[in-house]
């Protein structure tokens, strides 16, 4: 497998691709057998359980989800009622544990220096100060909140169940500057996982009747108009909950594989990728697809595919691989480099932004230079035309309307040296 590598011109760095896949295995309810795994995707063979061991130092009971914010990996332990924090600066090391007694936390997302934790037992969103790891506010929710997505200064919250555990059919929109619910959308019953694509929010749903027959559906919310489109798949076990963007399309788990959705939200079976009867979870990252294959007991398997469905890697993990995160240690180390003296410092505002940001720098040398944008994989996606190399303050506007949400890097390169600015595009 080949991974693209790019050198930013920093003479003291040998640029490579140090891309890691983190896999959180849920484990079995009532057992402290959750586990966190790290796998190399740069052609190496590193694959191992990290920090926690089921017997000597258990991670906890039900590893529900995980999210990366800056250089920290946050693990949400549902039935242990904790948030476990890993520090990714220079490796992957345990940092601390946030105790949330009897909260049943589900997911965590972020906005600046705050974390937002969905809590089933409290019927609330808990707001975490990331600087001191203390809960600073509790926002009551009408029901049991599940996944959350931060988009344009609002938090979108799926609520699959009412407070009495009966099925709910709502997605909430909460304004982040004052934590007020400003809009409620009615979607297919049992709203669960969500993904942003363009200006639409896609939502998967599943619900059960008294005989535990499963019903599935998918909805989309136009975030500009508020219009909701719903597709009711009826009684079926073919659908999984995970939904994500891949190759500029929305994909969902269906019938042991991954399918893009048609305009009416039905599955496009003709473009199905993969056939894995025990497919439990899935996600994507750039050209990679990651599948969690599980029969609910260890060992289970994680499979990495390319964009044509060809298997690139297979990893053996513990029970129920349910959540995935990617982290590029090389780009993280580049970001942490000190500003190189005698060449321009580069900034941008606003940051995060959507979709336009101003890249500002002061050229201090009478010499040609370049300014360009790279994605998280180090690939140059945009280079700006420079019409003058005069010394002084400069501004460049980048309109990223055609780019997906994520982390990018603005690079100022001059005389073999570079300064780099991390950009956060949030749509």
Query: If you search the block for the tokens 């992957």, which residue do you land on?
Result: 92
pLDDT score of 333: 53
First to last CA, the chain: 31
- Residue 334 parent element (H or E): helix 329-335
Tell me: the pLDDT tens digits for 162-210?
999 999 999 999 999 999 999 999 999 999 999 999 889 999 999 999 9
pLDDT score of 389: 84
Cβ of 396: how many Cβ atoms within 10 Å?
Answer: 17
Rounded to 5 degrees, what are φ and ψ at 95? -115, -55
Highest average pLDDT, of 215-219, 405-409, 418-422, comes from 215-219
pTM of the model: 0.75
Is 50 exceeded by the pLDDT of residue 401?
yes
pLDDT score of 330: 63
Is 90 exceeded by the pLDDT of residue 65?
yes
Give the C-alpha separation, 126 to 100, whole Å: 10
- The verdict on 167 and 316 lying in the same domain is yes
Q: Which residues lie below 8 Å from residue 198, measured CB to CB, with a gap of 6+?
A: 427
Mean pLDDT of 148-172: 96
- The verdict on 27 and 110 lying in the same domain is yes
pLDDT score of 340: 44
Give the C-alpha separation, 279 to 254, whole Å: 9
- The verdict on 227 and 356 lying in the same domain is no
pLDDT score of 141: 96
Query: Where a domain ends, among 331, 364, 386?
Result: 331
pLDDT score of 56: 60
Q: What's the domain range around 255?
A: 19-331
- The verdict on 246 and 153 lying in the same domain is yes
Strand order in the sheet with 200-208: 191-197, 200-208, 214-222, 228-235
Residue 60: burial class (beta carbons within 10 Å; 0-12, 13-18, 19+) = buried
Choice between 392 and 300, residue whose per-residue pLDDT is larger: 300
Choice between 231 and 390, residue whose per-residue pLDDT is larger: 231
Q: What is the mean pLDDT of the chain?
A: 87
Domain assignment present for 213: yes
Choose the weakest-confidence range: 12-26, 137-151, 280-294.
Answer: 12-26
- The verdict on 56 and 131 lying in the same domain is yes
- The verdict on 317 and 406 lying in the same domain is no
pLDDT score of 21: 92
- The verdict on 214 and 296 lying in the same domain is yes
CA distance to 48, 195, 326, per residue, from 71 (Å): 20, 23, 12
pLDDT score of 5: 27
Is 50 exceeded by the pLDDT of residue 286?
yes
CATH of the domain at 356: 2.60.40.1930
CATH of the domain at 268: 2.130.10.10
Domain assignment present for 7: no
Domain count, the chain: 2
């Amino acid at each position: 497998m080949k991974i693209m590598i790019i050198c930013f011109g920093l003479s003291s760095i040998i640029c490579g691709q140090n891309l890691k896949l983190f896999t959180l295995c849920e484990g079995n309810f009532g057992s402290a057998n959750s586990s966190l795994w790290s796998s190399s995707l740069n052609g190496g063979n590193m694959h191992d359980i990290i920090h926690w061991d089921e017997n000597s130092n258990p991670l906890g009971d039900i590893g529900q989800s995980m999210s990366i914010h800056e250089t920290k990996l946050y693990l949400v332990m549902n039935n242990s009622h904790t948030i476990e924090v890993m520090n990714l600066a220079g490796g992957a090391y345990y940092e601390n544990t946030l105790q949330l007694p009897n909260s049943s936390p589900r997911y965590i997302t972020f906005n600046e220096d705050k974390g937002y934790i969905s809590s089933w037992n409290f019927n609330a969103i808990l707001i975490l100060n990331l600087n001191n790891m203390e809960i600073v506010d509790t926002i009551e929710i009408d029901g049991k909140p599940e996944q959350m997505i931060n988009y344009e200064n609002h938090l979108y919250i799926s609520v699959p169940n009412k407070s009495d555990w009966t099925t709910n059919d709502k997605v909430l929109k909460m304004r982040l500057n004052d934590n007020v619910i400003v809009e409620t959308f009615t979607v297919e019953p049992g709203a669960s996982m969500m993904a942003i694509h363009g200006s639409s929010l896609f939502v998967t749903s599943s619900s059960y009747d008294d005989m535990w027959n499963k019903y599935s559906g998918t909805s989309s919310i136009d975030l500009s108009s508020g219009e909701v489109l719903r597709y009711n798949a009826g009684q079926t076990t073919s659908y999984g909950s995970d939904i994500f963007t891949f190759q500029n399309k929305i994909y969902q788990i269906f019938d042991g594989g991954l399918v893009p959705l048609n305009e009416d939200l039905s599955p496009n079976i003709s473009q199905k990728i993969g056939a894995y009867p025990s497919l439990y979870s899935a996600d994507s990252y750039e050209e990679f697809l990651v599948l969690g294959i599980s029969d609910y007991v260890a060992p289970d398997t994680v499979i990495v595919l390319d964009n044509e469905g060809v298997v690139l890697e297979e990893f053996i993990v513990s029970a129920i691989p349910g959540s995935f995160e990617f982290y590029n240690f090389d780009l993280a180390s580049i970001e942490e480099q000190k500003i190189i003296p005698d060449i321009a410092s580069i900034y941008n505002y606003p940051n995060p932004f959507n979709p336009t940001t101003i890249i500002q720098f002061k050229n201090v040398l009478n010499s040609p230079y370049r300014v360009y944008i790279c994605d998280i994989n180090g690939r140059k996606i945009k280079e700006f035309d420079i019409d003058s190399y005069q010394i002084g303050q400069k501004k460049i506007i980048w309109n990223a309307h055609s780019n997906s949400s994520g982390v990018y890097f603005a690079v100022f390169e001059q005389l073999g040296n570079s300064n780099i600015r991390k950009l956060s595009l949030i749509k």
